[in-house]
């Protein structure tokens, strides 16, 4: 096992990694921007190094500064968390060149999976079902229209290197497609450095179900269990749960096998997630993408499986066996995670920066809170609006829902706007309790743009 690691991230995920490292006797180094100098994750780590001013490009995306911090502190490995540099193959390559270990998948796997078009080709070749569409690069608007007519409207236009809903457009007509084609290409170039776009058949009111995978040090990919992530706003997740209410044992077996094949096709190592889109009517599932990193929602898998995924990441990266036997794992109960964010749902989820004047979170049986803020913390406009993750585990879905509603009512965050009232309203609603979820639920049932 490593003696010291550097965590190239911030907030709750940096604290999460530090917590497991401390339990394993591994020293930690936090890197931080000026805006985070007094943050909880900085205080939690054994050492801390300033890497730049608040803007991410000058700090958390500053590869040279991060590598210098690792070298100067004697860290042996770098954990990227999620976001920032976590799925950047070039960064992982630079880490290796510096004589350090990247705690994540190899660059070759990230390259194979980072472009959605190439990923679809790779997994389709091993029998993983993909959404019908045009698996290639669209040359221009006319080419896109021709392919859309072949596929049949409605279609989904996507940036091939995109993520988080950026560069995605639902197109129900030729006019929609022509209107959005340039924007999808522009955003692909702006946010991901690649202007390529492609088309998929639009599946109306789909469910979003993903599978946690782990590639061990020996090269075997294991698919552990699934999570439902259908409650979204702007194609970004709000509530996640495990297991999925729509997945029965036969469907689970097929989905886990497809996820395992997708991971093996890319030569995957370490923790990752294979995402599927599910037709709510037919329950057919199709490959969507692979997130080559630890997911925000990993705690619900930990809750129902009784494992520590960060420990698994560290052990795989260090060349050690997994800390559990994947074949022996069984799901126990049900877990739901609510993402508590500094944003105003009534104003299209606009971020709500400011100073938290008072804050308290609940505790008790079946309750876990992962957070990076405290009373007095300043929520800046530079970073993601996530304040905390509230995870509730129960013997079944009904108990998990009850615990989450009760826990949300005990949350206190003052000084800024949050989505806590909306989360409580959704989880306590009849439509959510029914388990009949889909990605447009916030828009259809609560009048909010999803």
Write the pLDDT tens digit of every residue in 354-363: 999 999 999 9
- Dist CA 104 CA 118 (whole Å): 20
Q: How many Cβ atoms are within 10 Å of 241's Cβ, its own excluded?
A: 30
What's the confidence (pLDDT) of residue 101? 98
List Cβ neighbours of 418 (8 Å cut-off, separation of 6 or more). Answer: 340, 341, 342, 343, 352, 387
- Dist CA 262 CA 259 (whole Å): 5
Domains of the chain: 4-103 (3.40.50.20), 132-201 (3.30.1490.20), 207-446 (3.30.470.20)
Q: In what order do the strands lie in the sheet with 334-341?
A: 285-291, 270-278, 207-215, 221-233, 236-242, 334-341, 386-394, 367-371
What's the confidence (pLDDT) of residue 118? 86
Q: Are 199 and 133 in contact (CB under 8 A)?
A: yes
Whether 330 is catalytic is no
Parts of the chain with a pLDDT under 70: 164, 449-450
Work out the burial of residue 159: count CB atoms within 10 Å of its CB; fewer than 13 is exposed, 13-18 middle, 19 or more buried.
buried
- Dist CA 93 CA 228 (whole Å): 33
3-state secondary structure of 328: helix
Q: How many Cβ atoms are within 10 Å of 80's Cβ, its own excluded?
A: 26
Q: Are 272 and 291 in contact (CB under 8 A)?
A: yes
Alpha helix (H) residue ranges in 74-136? 89-97, 107-114, 116-124
- Stated as kind and residue range, the H or E segment containing 67 is helix 63-73
What's the confidence (pLDDT) of residue 194? 83
Q: What is the DSSP string of 253-274?
A: HHHHHHHHHHHHHTT--EEEEE
What's the confidence (pLDDT) of residue 173? 96
Please give the angle made by the CA atoms of 182, 185 and 191, to the nearest 5 degrees: 130
Q: Which of 177, 185, 176 is nearest to 137 (CA)?
A: 185
- Dist CA 88 CA 82 (whole Å): 11
Q: Catalytic: which of 15, 185, 293, 315? A: 293
What's the confidence (pLDDT) of residue 204? 85
Structure tokens at 383: 């970073």
Residue 130 has what DSSP assignment? B
Q: Are 347 and 38 in contact (CB under 8 A)?
A: no
CA atoms within 13 A on the CB side of 119: 27
What's the confidence (pLDDT) of residue 449? 65
- Dist CA 449 CA 322 (whole Å): 41
What's the confidence (pLDDT) of residue 114? 83
- Dist CA 50 CA 52 (whole Å): 6
- Dist CA 322 CA 169 (whole Å): 40
- Dist CA 289 CA 148 (whole Å): 21
- Dist CA 364 CA 346 (whole Å): 31
Structure tokens at 168: 């995605």
Strands 77-79 and 101-102 come out as parallel
Instruction: Enter the pTM of the model.
Output: 0.93
- Stated as kind and residue range, the H or E segment containing 16 is helix 11-23
């Amino acid at each position: 096992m490593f003696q010291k690691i550097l965590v190239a991230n911030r907030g709750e995920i940096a604290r999460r990694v530090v917590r497991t490292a401390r339990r394993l006797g591994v020293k930690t180094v936090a890197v931080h921007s000026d805006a985070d100098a007094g943050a909880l994750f900085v205080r939690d780590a054994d050492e801390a190094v300033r890497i730049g001013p608040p803007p991410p490009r000058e700090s958390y995306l500053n590869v040279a500064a991060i590598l210098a911090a690792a070298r100067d502190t004697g860290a042996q490995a770098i954990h990227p968390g999620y976001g920032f540099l976590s799925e950047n193959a070039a960064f992982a390559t630079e880490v290796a060149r510096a004589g350090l270990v990247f705690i994540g998948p190899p660059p070759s796997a990230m390259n194979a999976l980072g472009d959605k078009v190439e990923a679809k080709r790779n997994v389709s070749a091993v029998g993983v079902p993909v959404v019908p569409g045009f698996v290639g690069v669209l040359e221009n608007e006319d080419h896109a229209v021709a392919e859309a007519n072949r596929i049949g409207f409605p279609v989904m236009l996507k940036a091939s290197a995109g993520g988080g809903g950026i560069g995605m457009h639902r197109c129900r007509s030729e006019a929609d497609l022509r209107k959005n084609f340039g924007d999808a290409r522009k955003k692909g170039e702006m946010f991901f450095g690649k202007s390529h776009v492609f088309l998929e058949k639009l599946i109306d009111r789909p469910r979003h179900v993903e599978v946690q995978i782990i590639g061990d040090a020996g090269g075997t990919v294991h698919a552990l269990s699934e999570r439902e992530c259908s409650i979204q706003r702007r194609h970004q997740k709000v509530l996640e749960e495990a297991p999925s209410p729509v997945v029965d044992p036969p469907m689970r077996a097929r989905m886990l096998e497809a996820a395992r094949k997708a991971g093996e096709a890319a030569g995957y190592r370490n923790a990752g997630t294979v995402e599927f889109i599910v037709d709510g009517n037919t329950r057919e599932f199709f490959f969507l993408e692979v997130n080559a990193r630890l997911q925000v929602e990993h705690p619900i898998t930990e809750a129902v499986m009784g494992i520590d995924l960060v420990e698994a990441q560290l052990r795989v990266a260090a060349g050690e066996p997994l800390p559990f036997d994947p074949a022996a794992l069984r799901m126990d109960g049900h877990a739901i995670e609510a993402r508590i964010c500094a944003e105003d749902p009534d104003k299209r989820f606009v971020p709500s920066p400011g100073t938290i004047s008072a804050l308290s979170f609940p505790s008790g049986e079946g309750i876990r809170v992962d957070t990076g803020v405290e009373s007095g913390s300043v929520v800046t406009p530079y970073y993601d609006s996530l304040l905390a993750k509230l995870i509730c585990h129960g013997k079944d879905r009904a108990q998990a829902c009850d615990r989450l509603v009760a826990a949300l009512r005990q949350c206190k965050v003052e000084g800024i706007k949050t989505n806590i009232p909306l989360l409580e309203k959704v989880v306590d609603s009849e439509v959510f309790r029914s388990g009949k979820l889909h990605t447009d639920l916030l828009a259809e049932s609560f009048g909010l743009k999803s």
